Structure 1
Amino acid sequence: MDSVTQGLLGAVMAQAGAKPTELKQATVIGFIAPQLADADVFIRSSTDSLLTLQFHRHFSHSLLFIPLGALLAALLLWPFFRNKIAFSRIYVYSLLGYATAGFLDALTSYGTHLLWPFVDQKIAWSVIAIVDPLFSAVLMIALLMSFIRVRPSFARYGLLVAGCYVCFGALQQARVQQHIEALALTRQHSISRQIVKPTLGNVVLWRSIYQSENHYYVDAIRVGMFGDITVYEGAAAKVFDLKADSKKLPSTSVLFNDISRFNDFSDGYLIWMPSQVDALGDIRYAMLPQHIAPMWSIVFDSNKPSQAVTVKTDRHLSKQQRDMFLAMLLDQPINTK
């Protein structure tokens, strides 16, 4: 989730468990503590562009790391609060704030290594978007009401409403999954695996990717508040097979290792980039929900297996694409071709 929402949830959680006399301190501590979990973005290398992708939302977001992460946050914040509240209370509010980091990111489509080191795989429930203004607004209102009125009960009500919103997102996701399964049958497709995730800023317009045999099929699905559904049919792309498509590369080479790492990062959802040579993309993410052009990709030279890959990111949206996204969100007809 974005850092502001991460801080808001941490602050509201700390407020909910605070004594009224310590509520203002709890708010600040709870807002700052979960930000420490995202310090993993500084794990990077000038010679290994995959390192940041590999370790972002990794061990610092795991359940096992919460007590240690909260302790580090408390130690950093102690000089600023030592004359106001005891260290034990700073730690409690740091713990409440930091504990939200992994759970919040697991609710999104990017996911997090919540069960590391026992399960070295990201958990992504994909029930709310990475940035969701409505979810953030609920937390902001709860935080301000609790802070101004000095009443933890407002924070608790805010957490309840935010929880209801997450549940609504899960309901919307289930509706999309059910519809896609029926749609696949009409296409005579057998789904071997599937991802359904919300688009940026809402739980109305969703991106669906499913695999049938050796192809991925992408669609945008709009689910109205009362369950009415509109499908914006996307395209198909051939599945990248690590073993078959990399058989010419030495298994001990730098290039093969980097492709394997990117394949692990994408949970195997790799395709050859459209109209490009020696480029692989993560089909799970795209700027438009019905498009196959991935947001993240790696480029390389297959004739130079000793060279590392380069990570490319495409977050550009043209005006035409923005208009198309808005039209789908508002359930207006568009030309998806």
Structure 2
Amino acid sequence: MDPITQGLLGASLSQSFSNKQHLVTAGSIGLLAAMTPDLDVLIRSQTDPLLFLEAHRQFTHSLFFIPIGSFLCALVLHYLLAKKQGFSFKQSWLYAAIGFSTHALLDSFTSYGTQLFWPLSNHRYAWNAVSVIDPLFTLPILILLGLAIMKRSVLFSRIAFLWAVTYLMLGVVQRDRAEAAGWELAKERQHNPIQLEAKPSFANILVWKVVYETHNAYVVDAIRVGSSVKNYPGESITKLSLSRDFPWLVPGSQQAKDIERFRRFSNGYLAQDPTNELRIIDVRYSMVPNQINPLWSIELSPSATMGTHVEYAVHRDSSSESRQLYLDMLLDF
């Protein structure tokens, strides 16, 4: 989730356990502690472009790291914010732990994937219930926290947290509706999917990108689940085959290892880019949900040495045509 939303949710829960005298300070500690786990984005390498993919939402987002991470936050925030307000260090640590604990769980409701049980497991939990940015989720929390401070009442903070939980549960319901519609669409095509996932499109829980895997291809569709269900049939692409698509790739080379790293990150949803035969794309994400137009990819080089890494690229489809297609689905035009 975006850092602002993470901070606001952490503040709402920390304030929910405070009183009106401690409301502002408890909320400030919870807000800053809840944003802290995303400092893992600073873990990067100039020579290994995939390192940040592996490090993001890893150890700082593990449930086992909450006591350590929140303690480090408390060490700083107690002396910056809380001590002058008469807080004990235990109180500061408590509010930091409450705020810090919301981060990984909220991230798990998105579709990126969060390693909740690292180092015991490298599995990325992605419950696909909410977009990484969703104003309808964030703005009510912001307004209610503002009221909590103005009115000096924890009631509004508790309502803010309740709204967050309610919206996430609604996202789960919407996801299940989209998946059910996706299975039905595949059945109509006489497809028998190996696996199928529904992911919220950008900033809403109305329009979903449904991706399913057949024996040799991935199929993507957009499905709008409002009062009724509406399908927007999409595209398909052949699944990646290294022996077919990259016959020159040397097994055991760094590029081959990087493909496997990217495969784990992408949950296997890989294909060769039809517009660039040296590029491997993550099929799961696109701006227009019924298109195969990736948000990120890796690019190989036939002339690379055994120790050379792949190149990583982020693609931002911000064309007016794509925006209009997306809005037409969202607004049901």
TM-score band, normalised by shorter chain? over 0.9
1:101-120 equivalence runs, <5 A = 101-120=103-122
- Provide the C-alpha distance between the structure 2 equivalents of 1:10 and 1:162, rounded to a whole number of angstroms: 11
How many residues end up aligned between the 2 structures? 330
- Provide the C-alpha distance between the structure 2 equivalents of 1:260 and 1:305, rounded to a whole number of angstroms: 18
Specify the SS of the correspondent of 1:159. Answer: helix
Specify the SS of the correspondent of 1:90. Answer: helix
Aligned to 2:84: 83
1:29-68 equivalence runs, <5 A = 29-68=29-68
Aligned to 2:277: 277
Shift of 1:248: 4.8
Q: Deviations over 1:187-223 (max 9, x none)?
A: 1100111110101111001101000111000001111
* Percentage identity across paired residues of the two chains: 38
Q: Is the 8 A contact 2:10 2:102 kept in 1?
A: yes
Q: Deviations over 1:125-146 (max 9, x none)?
A: 0101110001101211221122
TM-score, normalisation: structure 2: 0.96
Specify the SS of the correspondent of 2:208. Answer: strand
> Which one-letter code corresponds to 2:153 in the other structure?
R
Say yes or no: does 1:308 pair with 2:309: yes
Shift of 1:303: 3.8
User: Out of 163, 175, 189, which is 1:187 matched to?
Assistant: 189
When residues 149 and 41 of structure 1 are mapped into structure 2, their CA distance, relative to the original with a 3 A threshold, is same
Shift of 1:252: 2.3
- Provide the C-alpha distance between the structure 2 equivalents of 1:119 and 1:237, rounded to a whole number of angstroms: 31
Aligned to 1:317: 318
> Which one-letter code corresponds to 2:263 in the other structure?
N
> Which one-letter code corresponds to 1:327 in the other structure?
D
- Provide the C-alpha distance between the structure 1 equivalents of 2:161 and 2:78, rounded to a whole number of angstroms: 27
Say yes or no: does 1:267 pair with 2:301: no
Q: Deviations over 1:257-294 (max 9, x none)?
A: 11111111111111101221211011111111011121
Q: Is the 8 A contact 2:74 2:89 kept in 1?
A: yes
- Provide the C-alpha distance between the structure 2 equivalents of 1:277 and 1:244, rounded to a whole number of angstroms: 11
Q: Is the 8 A contact 1:14 1:97 kept in 2?
A: yes
Q: Deviations over 1:203-251 (max 9, x none)?
A: 0011010001110000011111x2x111111110111145775665333
Say yes or no: does 1:11 pair with 2:41: no
Q: Is the 8 A contact 1:10 1:98 kept in 2?
A: yes
- Provide the C-alpha distance between the structure 2 equivalents of 1:114 and 1:7, rounded to a whole number of angstroms: 19
Gaps of 5+ in 2: none
Q: Is the 8 A contact 2:141 2:164 kept in 1?
A: yes
- Provide the C-alpha distance between the structure 2 equivalents of 1:72 and 1:242, rounded to a whole number of angstroms: 45
Shift of 1:295: 0.6
1:1-337 equivalence runs, <5 A = 1-80=1-80, 81-84=82-85, 85-224=87-226, 226=227, 228-241=228-241, 248-306=248-306, 307-332=308-333
Q: Is the 8 A contact 2:287 2:326 kept in 1?
A: no
Q: Is the 8 A contact 1:250 1:305 kept in 2?
A: no
When residues 303 and 36 of structure 1 are mapped into structure 2, their CA distance, relative to the original with a 3 A threshold, is same
- Provide the C-alpha distance between the structure 1 equivalents of 2:241 and 2:46, rounded to a whole number of angstroms: 28
- Provide the C-alpha distance between the structure 1 equivalents of 2:274 and 2:250, rounded to a whole number of angstroms: 25
CA RMSD in angstroms, aligned pairs only = 1.4
- Provide the C-alpha distance between the structure 1 equivalents of 2:271 and 2:249, rounded to a whole number of angstroms: 17
TM-score, normalisation: structure 1: 0.95
Specify the SS of the correspondent of 1:230. Answer: strand
- Provide the C-alpha distance between the structure 2 equivalents of 1:242 and 1:154, rounded to a whole number of angstroms: 55
Specify the SS of the correspondent of 1:45. Answer: coil
